[in-house]
Amino acid sequence: MPTARVPHVALLTGGGDCPGLNAVIRAVTLALKRGCGARITGIERGFHGLVTRRVRELTEPDVAGILAEGGTILGTHNRCDPFRWEGQDHSAAIMAFVRELGIDALVAIGGDGTMRLAARFGPLGLPVVGVPKTIDNDLHGTDRCFGFDSAVAVVAEALDRLATTARSHGRVMILETMGRDAGWIALEGGLAGGADAILIPELPFSLPAVAELARRREREGGSLLVCVAEGVRIGGEEPAARGQVDDATAQARLGGVGQVLQHRLQPLVNCEVRSTLLGHVQRGGTPTAFDRVLATRYGVHAAELVAAGRYGRMVALQGDRVTSVPLADVVGGSRPVPPDHELLRAARGIGVLLG
Ligand code: F6P
């Protein structure tokens, strides 16, 4: 009797890292091994590993003990678009490599850029299942990306720490968060850390209103905690940026709005205004318990999709249910904070200044 061929599945992590990547790698590997005895090949450094042919087998011992580890054991790359890397389209060479290895399917763990690139391999003969990652939580088609909860926890802790020193000195303390064009990290982190003002790209804000609130706090002998998302535009200007990087997404690297705000606010108030840029601290370190569980659920569901041959889909959380959506619906979309979102109502309800 002919024996069934063991499926061979490749796994990569693309784009910026975030807490929970290793938890997904572990869950996909364990679920596929236990479910159908699959062979798993890890691609090193995202799509760059497919260009440079850097791969390694993943076994159960390889993924033991990595659940709580930050970063990604496979490494990642946020600049490599294999369809135009270093002036060349590498897709034909990659497909030849995939056939040489006998790979049947790819599980791509990443954000919008990774999903967009991965989806292009399906029609070339490498079917794909996606797993949504980004601390920004702005991927279309899912209510949550793993990594977001961990970033929010870091923002909340930073605000807790800034609050005590702000109170001691009667200062305005500004905390700048990541998030690109979406305000989710600043909004949830700001709420969790008790910010008095939360400024997000989705809502225009008034500098005089922030200054007025700061002066009121001054008169009352208090302090002010401002949480600002990096994508905020001050007075309609472009968001503050550290430069443009020629990468798969060709996006400006944002950062610096907190300092701009500090300089604009200082002349309008008597107390001292200081700013802190939290930066990559939000992306590093161990995932929260919520992210470990979500990453595990996503990894297992991705393995189930592969085992069932349901390709061209991304796993997703809708409400409290893990499901999947067509990759084509995810690519190119975004998920900004809707103006009528309940979190905004909650913030306004307790007097947080939002605009
Ligand atoms: O998309 C995740 C993110 O952390 C954004 O919040 C941030 O703007 C960007 O990546 C930073 O990218 P890099 O690590 O390339 O500076």
DSSP state string for 308-320: TT--SEEEEEETT
Ligand 1 atom with least separation from CA of 242: 16
135 CB under 6 A from ligand 1? yes
Q: For the chain, which domains are there?
A: 8-146+287-330 (3.40.50.450), 152-282 (3.40.50.460)
Question: End-to-end CA distance of the chain, in Å?
Answer: 70
CA of 57 to the centre of ligand 1 (A): 29
Encode pLDDT of 44-55 as tens digits: 999 999 999 999
Residue 217 Cβ inside 6 Å of ligand 1? The answer reads no
pLDDT of residue 242: 78
**Both structure tokens of 153:** 């926890």
pLDDT at position 249, please? 57
Which residue from 287, 296, 311 is spatially nearest to 147, judged by alpha carbons? 287
Q: Is 77 in the pocket of ligand 1 (CB under 6 A)?
A: no
Ligand 1, atom 14, lies closest to the CA of 16
Residue 5: what pLDDT?
80
Q: Is the CB of 134 under 6 A from ligand 1?
A: yes
253 CA to centre of ligand 1 in angstroms:
7
Q: What b/e sequence results for 134-151 when a residue is b if at least 16 CB atoms lie within 10 Å of its CB, and e otherwise?
A: bbbbbbbbbebbbbbbbb
Contacts of 33 (CB under 8 A, 6+ apart): 40, 59, 60
133 CB under 6 A from ligand 1?
no
The pLDDT value recorded for residue 252 is 84
Distance 32 CA to ligand 1 centre (A): 31
Ligand 1 center to residue 18 CA distance, Å?
Answer: 10
Q: From the alpha carbon of 135, which atom of ligand 1 is closest?
A: 2
Q: Are 106 and 13 in contact (CB under 8 A)?
A: no
Q: Count the Cβ atoms, other than its own, within 10 Å of residue 211.
A: 19
* CB of 242 shorter than 6 A to ligand 1: no
Contact indicator for 134, 181 with CB cutoff of 8 Å: no
Q: Which amino acid is at 2?
A: P
- pLDDT value of position 3: 61
Q: What are the residue numbers of the active site?
A: 136
Length of the chain: 355
Task: Look at ligand 1, atom 10, and give the residue with the nearest C-alpha.
Answer: 16
Residues of the chain with pLDDT under 70: 1-4, 244-250
* Amino acid letter for position 164: T
Beta bridge partners of 353: 197
For atom 16 of ligand 1, which residue has the closest CA? Answer: 253
Q: DSSP H helical segments within the chain, as ranges?
A: 21-36, 47-52, 91-101, 112-119, 148-169, 184-192, 207-219, 257-265, 289-307, 327-330, 342-349
Q: Quick one: CA torsion of 89, 91, 92, 97, rounded to 10 degrees?
A: 130
Contact 101, 69 (CB under 8 A): no
Q: Could you tell me the CA-to-CA distances from 78 to 83, 119, 253, 282, 349 in Å, in that order?
A: 14, 16, 12, 17, 39
CA neighbor of 117 nearest in space, from 51, 163, 65: 51
